Amino acid sequence: MAASPRGFVLRNTHLRPVPGLEEVRLHLADEVLPLWHAVQVETGDPDAALPYWAFAWAGGLAIGRYLRDHPEVVADRRVFDLAAGSGLCAIAALSAGASEAAGADVDPFAAAAMGLNAYANGERVAVVRRDVLDDAAPDVDVILAGDCWYDARLAERVLPWLHRARDRGIDVLVGDPGRRYLPTRDLVELAVYDVRTTTELEDLDLKQGRVYALGPV
Ligand SMILES: C[S@@+](CC[C@H](N)C(=O)[O-])C[C@H]1O[C@@H](n2cnc3c(N)ncnc32)[C@H](O)[C@@H]1O
């Protein structure tokens, strides 16, 4: 593991406004492969995870836009950002008036990025640096799940966890650009946004990001 994930994030990213959500600034990278290589060298792990945390993903961008348009969804409420990456959804929720926000991610670099990104936006995100998907639902009002459906195994575990949360009365918002494992049958579409991403990550740099509620609403 890196001596200082925080230092690594700072050295390998630039703080800049998020396209389409300029009021939020994140520590972002331009190119994925050189950064992934740097992560592998830094950790000594050839199987190190992709640096998801250094990009604002289409699903998270859609949630951020939705919260800007509908701040009442999170205003004065406690928010949990699942698979938070950069912490984009948590930070957007705080900007929209959430009373508190936590972000969970298994990647230690994501944990560092979240802390730095929250600080850069004058916010505080409680960082949960572990896998929560076998735990009971957190004690919150809203769960945000931005771009979680890119991997079959993760998708299999996320859906029942979100359902358990929904059954406990927690509102669940999903943001996604139509990834392979998106469980559309369980979701109610709320909004669609054109979101600017990058061909470093996607086939096109302009994607449609959709926001859904986990049903029933
Ligand atoms: C595509 S990124 C999305 C990041 C952010 N939500 C966004 O929309 O920009 C997916 C994130 O899920 C995280 N992740 C993968 N498995 C996880 C798990 N079991 N629990 C929490 N986070 C996980 C990855 O580390 C990665 O940061």
78-87 pLDDT, tens digit per residue, is 999 999 999 9
27 Cα distance to chain centroid: 14
Residue 153, class by beta-carbon neighbours within 10 Å (0-12 exposed, 13-18 middle, 19+ buried)? Answer: exposed
Comparing CA positions, the residue from 8, 35, 5 lying closest to residue 198 is 35
Pocket test for ligand 1, best of 21, 36, 52, 67 (most atoms within 8 A of CB): 52
pTM of the model: 0.97
148, 174 Cβ separation under 8 angstroms:
yes
Mean pLDDT of the chain: 96
Ligand 1 atom closest to Cα of residue 148: 10
pLDDT of amino acid 84:
98
Please state, for a pLDDT cut of 70, what percent of the chain lies above it.
Answer: 98
The whole-number pLDDT of residue 202 equals 86
pLDDT tens-digit map of 9-35:
999 999 999 999 999 999 999 999 999
The answer to whether residue 3 scores a pLDDT higher than 80 is no
The CA dihedral of 174, 141, 139, 120, to the nearest 10 degrees, is 70
Q: Which residue minimizes the CA distance to atom 25 of ligand 1?
A: 107
Average pLDDT over residues 141-161: 97
Question: Which residue, 184, 185, 164, 166, is CA-closest to 176?
Answer: 184
Ligand 1 closest atom vs CA 60: 8
- Residue 91 · residue 24 · CB < 8 Å: yes
Structure tokens at 139: 């004690």
For residue range 175-191, list pLDDT tens digits in order: 999 999 999 999 999 99
Q: Which residues line ligand 1 (CB under 6 A)?
A: 49, 52-53, 56-57, 59-60, 83-86, 88-89, 104-107, 110, 131, 133, 146-147, 150, 154
Taking the CB of residue 170, how many other CB atoms lie within 10 A of it?
20
- 156 contacts: CB under 8 Å, gap ≥ 6: none
Is the model's pLDDT at 203 over the cut of 90? no
Residue 2 has pLDDT above 70, yes or no: no
| Residue 1 pLDDT greater than 80, yes or no | no
State pLDDT tens for residues 86-130. Answer: 999 999 999 999 999 999 999 999 999 999 999 999 999 999 999
Average pLDDT over residues 55-70: 98
Arithmetic mean of pLDDT, 133-154: 97
> Which of 136-140, 156-160, 201-205 is the least confident region?
201-205
